Chain A
Amino acid sequence: MFDVIMYDGGVYRSEELYELIEDVGGVIIQKTRSAQMLTVTMSIPAEDRKMVEAFCIEIGGEIKPVPLAGTEIAIVGPTLGRHHMPHPICDIAEQLRRYGAVTVVMGLARGRGKLTAQINLQEKTIIDEYDAAVFSLGNFKSCIEAKTDLFKDITVPVVLVSGPMPEGIDDTCEAIVSGVGRKTSRMRTAPERAKLEEIADAVETILADRKKVLEEDPMFVHPGEIKQLLEEYEPVNMCLRPAPLTLHLDGLRVKIPYDEHHEYIENMTVYGRKLKDVCTIAPSKIDDSSILIRIKTRSEIEYEDARKVEKK
């Protein structure tokens, strides 16, 4: 199993750190350098964690846990109107970013109201592109209980954040965090900060379970390895969008148009195999703005290989 940690320190002997990460079979998820300071988010095998941590301390840095690193999470509100934005949706997104996740804030087109709230298929498929979704609803129990249609068909794990604790809807989402609701100001008091941590912890627990499930049938390659491969592809290198390569638990998002670049990406090779053989490569549902790569598991690839041999 891989652990994600963050090195926070100076650039002194950082080349040795990169070599060590490579030697233990880990990957660098994100590297940010500011003058002489450096932060490196890395994914390393759990059994080598102590050794890497000891080396980080030896070179004068410190280790910070980033339990949600390598994930992309959608925070969804009923709309992007001033009733729901920027608080508490942006506060939740900020907290998840502090835990290492890449976040996206989304508003539904017709999510407001009790009797008229709805979600369409396109919105559902967009939310399903992420590793998890956090739905933020309002202050009335009867209203929240009537709006389960918004998230019950979402296939990725959903954490519901609400004002009062709803009853009888536990089967429609993975976790419910109550005590937030509609807000007009920033969540800055101690109880509110604690509530934000509770939300982030709920997301962390759910994604930790998901990681365990993925470990049972491991992916053919770690998403970080494909990230390293794609970093050298010029359109990605030239892309000015934030985090042009965003890791997911079972793949990654490449923020360049699908139509222009999918052929090149499909024919890249990893461990002697074409990427199209070991991954599913599809356009994102958000205006063809990015490419979604989902890495197949080893058993999937073995099965496909066996089928090919049979056909011959």
Chain B
Amino acid sequence: MDIEVTCSEPFGADSYKALFEEIMSDIGKSDFMDKAELVLKPDIPLFIFSVKLKTEPTNMKISDVATVRSEGDSVFMTITDERHAPEMLDQLWKKYGRRAVEQQTRFDIIVRGVKDSEIRDMVIASGEEHMKEIVGAIWRSMPEGIKVRHTYIDGMVITVVATEERIEPYMLEEAKAVHKRMQGGAEDV
């Protein structure tokens, strides 16, 4: 992930770049991010954190992360994207119970007594939930006292502007400019 930091204080810039990277990595969201821009103005205080995701979050189905085939009354799955394996198992256990679901190897799962069409369309991760987690991670990486926040979400770009007491119009303007820049447009668009 490419992180660009704008801050008048060198120590704050370096440490917030590291903090942002560490927090996103801890929450497991850094792989989904293409780039991030952090504007830190502690003297106001005003913080603008903007991230561009690699892809727009959508509902993830089992057929998106595993190959599914049916044999007799069992469905065999081979996981192709391991990042989603825990959610996949979780949903299968929730729906069919642990007795019916068997994980033979790291990548192979068998579910007994079900139809493959049912399995293919099963949603394992919702796009909205994913977005919420990313916004939560951005809030977490901001300083604790900066609680007055406004969020812009457009497709793949999320921008959070935050201050301590009240958000002034010029703060929103600045955040919008960063948001546009991250979307790939000119600032005055």
Contact = CB atoms under 8 A, between A and B. Distances in A.
A163 B12 contact: yes
B143 interface: yes
A112 B147 CA distance: 10
A63 B143 CA distance: 44
A111 to B, nearest CB: 9
A216 B22 CA distance: 51
A139 B15 contact: yes
Given A117-B145, A182-B143, 7 more contacts: A116-B164, A116-B165, A139-B15, A140-B11, A142-B43, A143-B42, A143-B45
B16 interface: yes
B143 A115 contact: no
Given A84-B144, A114-B145, A116-B164, A141 B22 contact: no
A142 B144 contact: no
Interface stretch (A3-11, A38-46, A74-82, A92-100): A74-82
Given A114-B45, A181-B11, A182-B19, A138 B143 contact: yes
Interface of A: 78-79, 81-84, 112-117, 138-143, 163-164, 181-185
Interface string B18-46: 01001100100000000000001011010
A82 B140 contact: yes
B9 interface: yes
27 contacts: A78-B145, A84-B144, A112-B143, A112-B145, A113-B144, A113-B146, A115-B164, A116-B164, A116-B165, A139-B9, A139-B11, A139-B19, A140-B40, A140-B143, A141-B9, A141-B12, A142-B9, A142-B42, A142-B43, A143-B42, A143-B45, A163-B11, A163-B12, A163-B15, A182-B19, A184-B26, A185-B22
Contact of B144 (A79, A115, A140, A183): A79
Contacts of B40: 140
Interface in B145-179: 145-147, 164-165
Contacts of A164: 9, 11-12
A204 B183 CA distance: 53
Nearest to A141: B9
Contact of B12 (A83, A116, A140): A140
A83 B144 contact: yes
Contacts of B144: 78-79, 81, 83-84, 112-113
A79 B145 CA distance: 10
A21 to B, nearest CB: 47
Contacts of B12: 139-141, 163-164
